[in-house]
């Protein structure tokens, strides 16, 4: 297939590109490089383009792609409260540009990166895909809106799609060529590693009074390489014309913030300096994925998603690759 990876210069997109190096697919990248890096695109053709520029998107999409993968969105929950306009513009309006160009050009296969944030504070744990979408922050709202648009575009325009709702993506390329690097960084594991090696003074733990055994939030972490493998299966799903489907991507295992800190101390053999602080707005107490659908229907299995492995890979990247850009 000929595939366009939108947002291929970012954290998850770049791991997808690296995985594509082992396939026969013909792959190109569209990215505005606002948060990603050109070096992450490896040897693939990069179309430097903002999704806001609909004419340019249209002309790029005229290159006969069979399938589009969309990783390009803003993901910072805190920022989405401060600047919701930026989130609705990019995550919704610009995505709509992309979808409309696809419909016009009859590109009918789409893989979309959604998020567990669409569920909000869940009433049932683990959360399966049938639970209602009740996001509790602007970021989650933007993803839920796109999911609703996609359902309508499937019905009316025959846009076949696989939607992946990511839980907490972590880890890095085991060869440490690429890894997680956001500016500013807001994610737990890279922040812990920064605190470990002195790039920041300490890790701030946001909230120690949650209704969990140790008072800190519980999350379901999935290795970026396992996540990318699910996309390869999603691609096959669409290639086989199996229709549109939503899949959670997580393991169902939960780790509290303090447990992640403990694992990081073990892996790095260093102390993690911490500061305990108030809750961060928009954080749910506990998110655990019910992922049996991805396992039974896609044949997905998470092989690297144990906490020690994820931190080991992230730490190797942090030491070898991080900040070398």
Binding site for ligand UDP (CB under 6 A): 77, 168, 186-188, 191, 203-206, 217, 219, 257, 280, 283
Give the C-alpha separation, 29 to 52, whole Å.
Answer: 16
139 counts as catalytic: yes
Query: Least distance to ligand UDP from the beta carbon of 58, Å?
Result: 33
Identify the bridge partners of residue 245 per DSSP, sorted by sequence position. Answer: 162
SS3 for 248? strand
Select which of 139, 166, 210, 221 is catalytic. 139
Buried b (16+ CB within 10 A) or exposed e, 20-36: beeeeebbbbbbbeebb
H helix runs in the chain, sequence order: 11-20, 54-61, 77-82, 84-87, 95-104, 138-157, 188-196, 224-239, 257-268, 292-293, 307-320
Give the C-alpha separation, 287 to 116, whole Å.
Answer: 8
Query: Least distance to ligand UDP from the beta carbon of 35, Å?
Result: 15
- Token pair of 95, please? 């995505």
CB neighbours (10 Å) of residue 303?
11
CB neighbours (10 Å) of residue 271?
10
Query: Least distance to ligand UDP from the beta carbon of 235, Å?
Result: 25
User: In the complex with ligand UDP, which residue's Cβ is closer, 109 or 219?
Assistant: 219
* Residue nearest ligand UDP (C-beta atom): 217
User: In the complex with ligand UDP, which residue's Cβ is closer, 26 or 200?
Assistant: 200
User: In the complex with ligand UDP, which residue's Cβ is closer, 162 or 191?
Assistant: 191
User: In the complex with ligand UDP, which residue's Cβ is closer, 213 or 243?
Assistant: 213
User: In the complex with ligand UDP, which residue's Cβ is closer, 40 or 137?
Assistant: 137
Query: Least distance to ligand UDP from the beta carbon of 133, Å?
Result: 16
DSSP state of 305: -
Query: Least distance to ligand UDP from the beta carbon of 116, Å?
Result: 8
Which residues lie below 8 Å from residue 233, measured CB to CB, with a gap of 6+?
A: 298, 299, 300
Q: Which residues are catalytic?
A: 139
């Amino acid at each position: 297939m000929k595939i366009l990876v939108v947002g291929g210069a970012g954290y998850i997109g770049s791991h997808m590109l690296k995985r594509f190096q082992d396939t026969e697919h013909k792959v190109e990248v569209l990215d505005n490089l606002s948060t990603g890096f050109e070096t992450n695109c490896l040897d693939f053709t990069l179309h430097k383009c903002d999704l806001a520029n609909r004419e340019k998107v249209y002309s790029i999409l005229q290159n006969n792609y069979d399938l589009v993968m969309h990783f390009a969105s803003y993901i910072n929950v805190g920022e989405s409260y401060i600047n919701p306009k930026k989130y609705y513009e990019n995550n919704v309006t610009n995505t709509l540009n992309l979808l409309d160009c696809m419909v016009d050009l009859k590109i009918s296969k789409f893989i979309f990166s959604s998020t567990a944030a669409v569920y909000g504070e869940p009433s049932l744990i683990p959360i399966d895909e049938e639970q209602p979408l009740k996001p509790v922050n602007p970021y989650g709202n933007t993803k839920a809106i796109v999911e609703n648009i996609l359902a309508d575009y499937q019905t009316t325009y025959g846009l076949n799609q696989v939607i992946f709702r990511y839980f907490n993506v972590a880890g890095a390329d085991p060869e440490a060529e690429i890894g997680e690097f956001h500016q500013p960084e807001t994610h737990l594991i890279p922040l812990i590693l920064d605190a470990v090696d002195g790039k920041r003074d300490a890790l701030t733990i946001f909230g120690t009074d949650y209704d969990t055994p140790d008072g800190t939030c519980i999350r379901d972490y999935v290795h970026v390489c396992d996540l990318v493998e699910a996309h390869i299966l999603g691609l096959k799903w669409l290639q086989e014309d199996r229709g549109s489907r939503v899949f959670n991507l997580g393991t169902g295992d939960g780790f509290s913030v303090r447990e992640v800190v403990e694992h990081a101390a073990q892996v790095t053999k260093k102390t993690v300096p911490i500061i305990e602080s108030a809750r961060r707005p928009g954080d749910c107490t506990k998110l655990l994925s019910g992922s049996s659908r991805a396992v039974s229907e896609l044949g997905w299995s998470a092989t690297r998603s144990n906490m020690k492995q994820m931190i080991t890979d992230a730490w190797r990247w942090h030491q070898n690759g991080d900040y070398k850009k």
